[in-house]
Amino acid sequence: MTHAADGAARTATLTLPRGEIRTPAFMPVGTAGTVKAMMPESVRETGADILLGNTYHLMLRPGAERVARLGGLHKFMGWERPILTDSGGFQVMSLSDLRKIAEEGVRFRSHIDGSEHFLSPERAMEIQCLLGSDIQMVLDECPKLPASEAAIETSLALSMRWAKRSKAAFGEQPGHACFGIVQGGTYANLRCRSAEELQEIGFDGYAIGGLAVGEPQEVMFETLDAVMPSMPADRPRYLMGVGKPDDIAGAVLRGIDMFDCVLPTRAGRTAQAFTRDGTLNLRNARHAEDDAPLDPACRCPACRKFSRAYLHHTVKANEIIASMLLTWHNLTYYQDLMQDLRDAIAEGRLAAQVAEIARVYAREPVD
Protein backbone atom coordinates (compact mmCIF):
# COMPACT_ATOMS: atom_id res chain seq x y z
CA MET A 1 0.00 0.00 0.00
CA THR A 2 1.52 3.33 -1.11
CA HIS A 3 1.09 6.19 1.36
CA ALA A 4 2.95 9.15 -0.15
CA ALA A 5 5.08 10.02 -3.16
CA ASP A 6 7.64 12.69 -4.00
CA GLY A 7 8.77 12.45 -7.61
CA ALA A 8 9.80 8.84 -8.28
CA ALA A 9 10.13 8.07 -4.55
CA ARG A 10 7.30 6.66 -2.48
CA THR A 11 6.51 5.44 1.01
CA ALA A 12 4.52 2.26 1.46
CA THR A 13 3.79 -0.64 3.79
CA LEU A 14 4.43 -4.22 2.74
CA THR A 15 2.24 -6.58 4.72
CA LEU A 16 3.37 -10.15 5.37
CA PRO A 17 2.00 -12.66 7.89
CA ARG A 18 5.00 -12.09 10.17
CA GLY A 19 4.69 -8.31 10.18
CA GLU A 20 4.61 -5.06 8.26
CA ILE A 21 7.63 -3.53 6.50
CA ARG A 22 7.80 0.25 6.18
CA THR A 23 9.44 1.37 2.96
CA PRO A 24 11.87 2.70 1.97
CA ALA A 25 13.43 0.03 4.19
CA PHE A 26 16.94 -1.01 5.14
CA MET A 27 17.44 -4.70 5.95
CA PRO A 28 20.31 -5.49 8.36
CA VAL A 29 22.30 -8.46 7.11
CA GLY A 30 22.16 -11.65 9.16
CA THR A 31 24.17 -13.70 6.68
CA ALA A 32 24.64 -16.86 8.73
CA GLY A 33 21.59 -16.55 10.97
CA THR A 34 22.94 -13.72 13.11
CA VAL A 35 23.40 -9.98 12.79
CA LYS A 36 26.99 -9.86 13.99
CA ALA A 37 27.52 -8.44 17.51
CA MET A 38 23.76 -7.95 18.03
CA MET A 39 20.93 -9.73 19.84
CA PRO A 40 17.72 -10.06 17.78
CA GLU A 41 15.74 -7.89 20.18
CA SER A 42 18.43 -5.21 19.95
CA VAL A 43 18.17 -5.24 16.15
CA ARG A 44 14.44 -4.74 16.49
CA GLU A 45 15.00 -1.82 18.88
CA THR A 46 16.95 -0.02 16.17
CA GLY A 47 13.74 0.03 14.11
CA ALA A 48 14.41 -2.83 11.68
CA ASP A 49 11.27 -4.47 10.28
CA ILE A 50 13.01 -7.22 8.29
CA LEU A 51 16.38 -9.00 8.17
CA LEU A 52 18.34 -10.62 5.35
CA GLY A 53 19.78 -14.14 5.49
CA ASN A 54 21.79 -15.93 2.83
CA THR A 55 21.20 -19.23 1.07
CA TYR A 56 24.86 -19.79 0.23
CA HIS A 57 26.13 -19.46 3.79
CA LEU A 58 23.28 -21.32 5.45
CA MET A 59 23.40 -24.23 2.99
CA LEU A 60 27.08 -24.70 3.83
CA ARG A 61 26.71 -24.24 7.57
CA PRO A 62 24.64 -25.47 9.43
CA GLY A 63 22.66 -26.79 6.42
CA ALA A 64 19.09 -25.99 5.37
CA GLU A 65 17.74 -29.41 6.30
CA ARG A 66 19.10 -29.05 9.84
CA VAL A 67 17.55 -25.59 10.20
CA ALA A 68 14.22 -27.02 9.01
CA ARG A 69 14.40 -29.87 11.53
CA LEU A 70 15.00 -27.30 14.26
CA GLY A 71 11.88 -25.33 13.36
CA GLY A 72 13.00 -22.99 10.60
CA LEU A 73 15.24 -19.95 10.44
CA HIS A 74 12.99 -17.60 12.42
CA LYS A 75 12.94 -19.91 15.45
CA PHE A 76 16.58 -20.91 14.99
CA MET A 77 17.88 -17.34 15.17
CA GLY A 78 15.23 -15.91 17.48
CA TRP A 79 13.76 -13.40 14.99
CA GLU A 80 10.00 -13.69 14.50
CA ARG A 81 9.55 -10.87 12.03
CA PRO A 82 10.03 -11.14 8.23
CA ILE A 83 13.25 -12.50 6.71
CA LEU A 84 14.39 -12.12 3.11
CA THR A 85 16.92 -14.66 1.85
CA ASP A 86 19.29 -14.00 -1.03
CA SER A 87 19.61 -16.99 -3.36
CA GLY A 88 23.40 -17.25 -3.12
CA GLY A 89 24.27 -16.32 -6.70
CA PHE A 90 26.44 -13.35 -5.71
CA GLN A 91 28.31 -15.31 -3.03
CA VAL A 92 29.02 -18.16 -5.43
CA MET A 93 30.68 -15.57 -7.67
CA SER A 94 32.53 -13.63 -4.98
CA LEU A 95 33.51 -16.26 -2.39
CA SER A 96 33.68 -19.74 -3.83
CA ASP A 97 36.51 -21.42 -5.72
CA LEU A 98 36.40 -23.24 -9.07
CA ARG A 99 32.97 -21.97 -10.08
CA LYS A 100 31.64 -23.94 -13.05
CA ILE A 101 28.43 -22.65 -14.61
CA ALA A 102 26.18 -24.77 -16.80
CA GLU A 103 22.56 -24.62 -17.91
CA GLU A 104 21.58 -26.89 -15.03
CA GLY A 105 23.18 -24.71 -12.35
CA VAL A 106 26.52 -23.87 -10.82
CA ARG A 107 29.07 -26.22 -9.26
CA PHE A 108 31.50 -24.70 -6.79
CA ARG A 109 33.81 -25.37 -3.88
CA SER A 110 33.02 -24.05 -0.42
CA HIS A 111 35.17 -21.17 0.81
CA ILE A 112 35.00 -22.81 4.25
CA ASP A 113 36.43 -26.28 3.67
CA GLY A 114 36.80 -26.78 -0.08
CA SER A 115 33.92 -29.27 -0.30
CA GLU A 116 32.09 -29.41 -3.63
CA HIS A 117 28.47 -28.29 -3.95
CA PHE A 118 25.89 -27.83 -6.68
CA LEU A 119 23.28 -25.08 -6.71
CA SER A 120 20.47 -25.05 -9.25
CA PRO A 121 17.46 -22.73 -9.42
CA GLU A 122 15.34 -25.53 -8.02
CA ARG A 123 17.73 -26.26 -5.16
CA ALA A 124 18.07 -22.56 -4.31
CA MET A 125 14.31 -22.29 -3.90
CA GLU A 126 14.14 -25.58 -1.98
CA ILE A 127 16.74 -24.30 0.49
CA GLN A 128 14.84 -21.05 1.01
CA CYS A 129 11.63 -22.99 1.54
CA LEU A 130 13.35 -25.20 4.13
CA LEU A 131 14.61 -22.08 5.89
CA GLY A 132 11.08 -20.68 5.83
CA SER A 133 12.06 -17.22 4.60
CA ASP A 134 9.25 -14.80 3.89
CA ILE A 135 10.76 -13.30 0.74
CA GLN A 136 12.74 -15.64 -1.50
CA MET A 137 15.05 -14.55 -4.32
CA VAL A 138 15.53 -16.32 -7.64
CA LEU A 139 18.93 -17.78 -8.47
CA ASP A 140 20.80 -15.56 -10.90
CA GLU A 141 24.23 -15.61 -12.50
CA CYS A 142 26.39 -12.71 -11.34
CA PRO A 143 29.16 -11.99 -13.86
CA LYS A 144 32.27 -10.23 -12.70
CA LEU A 145 32.66 -6.69 -13.96
CA PRO A 146 33.92 -5.14 -16.11
CA ALA A 147 32.73 -7.40 -18.93
CA SER A 148 31.83 -6.93 -22.58
CA GLU A 149 28.24 -6.36 -23.63
CA ALA A 150 28.25 -9.73 -25.38
CA ALA A 151 29.39 -11.50 -22.22
CA ILE A 152 26.78 -9.71 -20.10
CA GLU A 153 24.08 -10.53 -22.65
CA THR A 154 24.94 -14.24 -22.52
CA SER A 155 24.91 -14.16 -18.72
CA LEU A 156 21.61 -12.28 -18.69
CA ALA A 157 19.94 -14.84 -20.93
CA LEU A 158 20.96 -17.61 -18.52
CA SER A 159 19.69 -15.61 -15.53
CA MET A 160 16.31 -15.14 -17.22
CA ARG A 161 16.01 -18.88 -17.86
CA TRP A 162 16.98 -19.55 -14.27
CA ALA A 163 14.41 -16.97 -13.09
CA LYS A 164 11.65 -18.86 -14.88
CA ARG A 165 12.77 -22.14 -13.32
CA SER A 166 13.05 -20.49 -9.89
CA LYS A 167 9.50 -19.16 -10.10
CA ALA A 168 8.21 -22.60 -11.10
CA ALA A 169 10.10 -24.20 -8.21
CA PHE A 170 8.75 -21.59 -5.77
CA GLY A 171 5.27 -22.73 -6.71
CA GLU A 172 2.42 -21.76 -4.41
CA GLN A 173 3.55 -20.69 -0.93
CA PRO A 174 0.76 -18.66 0.68
CA GLY A 175 2.15 -15.91 2.89
CA HIS A 176 5.54 -15.96 1.15
CA ALA A 177 6.85 -13.86 -1.76
CA CYS A 178 9.24 -14.50 -4.64
CA PHE A 179 11.34 -11.69 -6.15
CA GLY A 180 13.01 -11.64 -9.56
CA ILE A 181 16.45 -10.07 -10.07
CA VAL A 182 17.19 -7.60 -12.88
CA GLN A 183 20.68 -8.08 -14.33
CA GLY A 184 22.48 -6.55 -17.31
CA GLY A 185 25.62 -4.91 -15.97
CA THR A 186 25.79 -1.20 -16.75
CA TYR A 187 24.17 -1.63 -20.18
CA ALA A 188 20.85 0.22 -20.16
CA ASN A 189 19.33 -1.79 -23.00
CA LEU A 190 20.08 -5.08 -21.27
CA ARG A 191 18.78 -3.85 -17.92
CA CYS A 192 15.50 -2.78 -19.48
CA ARG A 193 15.19 -6.07 -21.36
CA SER A 194 15.77 -7.98 -18.13
CA ALA A 195 13.10 -5.97 -16.28
CA GLU A 196 10.58 -6.58 -19.05
CA GLU A 197 11.29 -10.33 -19.29
CA LEU A 198 10.95 -10.74 -15.53
CA GLN A 199 7.57 -9.02 -15.58
CA GLU A 200 6.43 -11.46 -18.25
CA ILE A 201 7.26 -14.29 -15.83
CA GLY A 202 5.53 -12.43 -12.99
CA PHE A 203 7.01 -11.84 -9.53
CA ASP A 204 5.88 -10.35 -6.23
CA GLY A 205 8.78 -7.90 -6.26
CA TYR A 206 11.75 -6.95 -8.42
CA ALA A 207 15.35 -6.55 -7.34
CA ILE A 208 18.27 -4.93 -9.12
CA GLY A 209 21.43 -7.00 -8.76
CA GLY A 210 24.95 -6.64 -10.05
CA LEU A 211 25.45 -3.03 -8.98
CA ALA A 212 27.58 -1.63 -6.14
CA VAL A 213 30.31 -4.06 -7.19
CA GLY A 214 33.01 -1.45 -7.69
CA GLU A 215 31.58 0.93 -10.26
CA PRO A 216 31.53 4.68 -9.41
CA GLN A 217 28.40 6.02 -7.76
CA GLU A 218 27.51 8.11 -10.80
CA VAL A 219 27.52 4.97 -12.98
CA MET A 220 25.22 3.20 -10.54
CA PHE A 221 22.84 6.17 -10.56
CA GLU A 222 22.96 6.40 -14.37
CA THR A 223 22.04 2.71 -14.56
CA LEU A 224 19.14 3.23 -12.16
CA ASP A 225 17.95 6.24 -14.15
CA ALA A 226 17.87 4.06 -17.25
CA VAL A 227 16.14 1.01 -15.79
CA MET A 228 13.67 2.46 -13.28
CA PRO A 229 11.09 3.50 -15.94
CA SER A 230 10.93 -0.20 -16.90
CA MET A 231 10.33 -1.34 -13.31
CA PRO A 232 6.71 -1.95 -12.27
CA ALA A 233 5.21 0.75 -10.07
CA ASP A 234 2.89 -1.65 -8.24
CA ARG A 235 5.59 -3.94 -6.82
CA PRO A 236 8.47 -3.46 -4.34
CA ARG A 237 11.80 -2.48 -5.92
CA TYR A 238 14.93 -3.68 -4.16
CA LEU A 239 18.53 -2.58 -4.81
CA MET A 240 20.75 -5.40 -3.61
CA GLY A 241 23.91 -4.81 -1.57
CA VAL A 242 23.62 -1.01 -1.26
CA GLY A 243 25.18 0.71 0.59
CA LYS A 244 26.60 3.97 1.88
CA PRO A 245 24.15 6.56 3.23
CA ASP A 246 24.46 8.77 0.15
CA ASP A 247 24.05 5.72 -2.14
CA ILE A 248 20.81 4.83 -0.38
CA ALA A 249 19.49 8.39 -0.43
CA GLY A 250 20.20 8.77 -4.14
CA ALA A 251 18.54 5.46 -4.91
CA VAL A 252 15.44 6.34 -2.87
CA LEU A 253 15.21 9.54 -4.91
CA ARG A 254 15.08 7.32 -8.00
CA GLY A 255 12.30 5.10 -6.66
CA ILE A 256 14.02 2.22 -4.84
CA ASP A 257 12.08 0.79 -1.87
CA MET A 258 14.38 -1.77 -0.22
CA PHE A 259 18.10 -2.06 0.59
CA ASP A 260 20.56 -4.34 2.34
CA CYS A 261 24.27 -4.02 3.01
CA VAL A 262 26.91 -5.39 5.39
CA LEU A 263 28.46 -1.93 5.68
CA PRO A 264 26.95 -0.71 8.98
CA THR A 265 27.74 -3.93 10.83
CA ARG A 266 31.17 -4.39 9.25
CA ALA A 267 32.03 -0.76 10.00
CA GLY A 268 31.00 -1.28 13.61
CA ARG A 269 33.54 -4.07 13.92
CA THR A 270 36.28 -1.90 12.41
CA ALA A 271 35.81 1.14 14.69
CA GLN A 272 33.84 3.28 12.22
CA ALA A 273 30.67 5.12 13.14
CA PHE A 274 28.16 6.76 10.79
CA THR A 275 26.77 10.04 12.14
CA ARG A 276 24.72 12.97 10.94
CA ASP A 277 28.03 14.83 10.49
CA GLY A 278 29.79 12.08 8.53
CA THR A 279 31.87 9.04 9.40
CA LEU A 280 34.11 8.83 12.45
CA ASN A 281 37.08 6.55 13.02
CA LEU A 282 37.18 5.76 16.74
CA ARG A 283 40.78 4.56 16.50
CA ASN A 284 41.94 8.14 16.01
CA ALA A 285 43.74 9.69 18.98
CA ARG A 286 41.70 12.89 18.78
CA HIS A 287 38.80 11.01 20.42
CA ALA A 288 40.86 9.89 23.45
CA GLU A 289 39.65 12.70 25.73
CA ASP A 290 36.43 13.68 23.97
CA ASP A 291 33.55 13.45 26.44
CA ALA A 292 30.91 14.11 23.76
CA PRO A 293 28.61 11.38 22.40
CA LEU A 294 29.13 10.00 18.92
CA ASP A 295 25.98 11.77 17.70
CA PRO A 296 23.96 13.98 20.07
CA ALA A 297 20.79 13.31 18.07
CA CYS A 298 21.11 9.51 18.24
CA ARG A 299 18.93 7.37 20.52
CA CYS A 300 21.19 4.29 20.68
CA PRO A 301 22.90 3.11 23.93
CA ALA A 302 26.34 4.00 22.60
CA CYS A 303 25.28 7.64 22.31
CA ARG A 304 23.01 7.84 25.37
CA LYS A 305 25.40 6.21 27.85
CA PHE A 306 28.96 6.49 26.61
CA SER A 307 31.43 9.08 25.36
CA ARG A 308 33.67 9.05 22.31
CA ALA A 309 36.57 8.72 24.76
CA TYR A 310 35.14 5.51 26.20
CA LEU A 311 34.46 4.06 22.76
CA HIS A 312 37.99 4.99 21.67
CA HIS A 313 39.36 3.25 24.77
CA THR A 314 37.39 0.04 24.18
CA VAL A 315 38.44 -0.01 20.53
CA LYS A 316 42.12 0.40 21.41
CA ALA A 317 41.82 -2.25 24.13
CA ASN A 318 40.16 -4.69 21.68
CA GLU A 319 37.16 -5.07 23.96
CA ILE A 320 34.18 -6.91 22.50
CA ILE A 321 31.81 -4.19 23.73
CA ALA A 322 33.32 -1.78 21.19
CA SER A 323 32.00 -3.86 18.29
CA MET A 324 28.66 -4.29 20.04
CA LEU A 325 28.12 -0.60 20.75
CA LEU A 326 29.36 0.69 17.39
CA THR A 327 27.27 -1.86 15.49
CA TRP A 328 24.19 -0.93 17.53
CA HIS A 329 24.88 2.72 16.79
CA ASN A 330 25.38 2.18 13.05
CA LEU A 331 22.23 0.12 12.67
CA THR A 332 20.28 2.76 14.59
CA TYR A 333 21.74 5.46 12.34
CA TYR A 334 20.65 3.53 9.23
CA GLN A 335 17.12 3.01 10.53
CA ASP A 336 16.88 6.69 11.47
CA LEU A 337 18.18 7.54 7.99
CA MET A 338 15.32 5.53 6.47
CA GLN A 339 12.76 7.21 8.74
CA ASP A 340 14.14 10.63 7.78
CA LEU A 341 13.80 9.69 4.11
CA ARG A 342 10.24 8.44 4.63
CA ASP A 343 9.35 11.68 6.43
CA ALA A 344 10.95 13.76 3.67
CA ILE A 345 8.91 11.93 1.02
CA ALA A 346 5.71 12.46 2.97
CA GLU A 347 6.48 16.16 3.37
CA GLY A 348 7.57 16.72 -0.24
CA ARG A 349 11.16 17.74 0.58
CA LEU A 350 13.10 14.64 -0.46
CA ALA A 351 15.42 16.39 -2.94
CA ALA A 352 16.71 18.72 -0.22
CA GLN A 353 17.16 15.84 2.23
CA VAL A 354 19.13 13.82 -0.33
CA ALA A 355 21.29 16.83 -1.19
CA GLU A 356 22.18 17.32 2.48
CA ILE A 357 23.14 13.65 2.94
CA ALA A 358 25.27 13.83 -0.21
CA ARG A 359 26.95 16.99 1.10
CA VAL A 360 27.80 15.37 4.45
CA TYR A 361 29.19 12.18 2.94
CA ALA A 362 31.22 14.04 0.33
CA ARG A 363 33.60 14.71 3.24
CA GLU A 364 35.16 11.27 2.98
CA PRO A 365 37.71 9.83 3.64
CA VAL A 366 36.92 8.83 7.22
CA ASP A 367 38.35 11.20 9.81
Q: Where are the alpha helices (DSSP H) in the chain?
A: 40-45, 55-60, 64-69, 73-77, 89-94, 121-131, 149-170, 188-201, 217-227, 245-253, 263-268, 301-305, 308-316, 320-346, 350-361
The one catalytic residue among 6, 86, 140, 246:
86
Residue 259 β-bridge partners = 26, 239
- Residue 196 has φ and ψ, to the nearest 5°, of -70, -40
Give the CA-trace dihedral at 108, 113, 79, 175, to 10 degrees. Answer: 20
- Residue 205 has φ and ψ, to the nearest 5°, of -160, 165
260 among known catalytic residues: yes
Q: Are strands 51-54 and 83-86 parallel, antiparallel or unpaired?
A: parallel
The one catalytic residue among 134, 140, 247, 260:
260
R_g (Cα) of the chain, nearest Å: 20
Which residues carry out catalysis? 86, 260
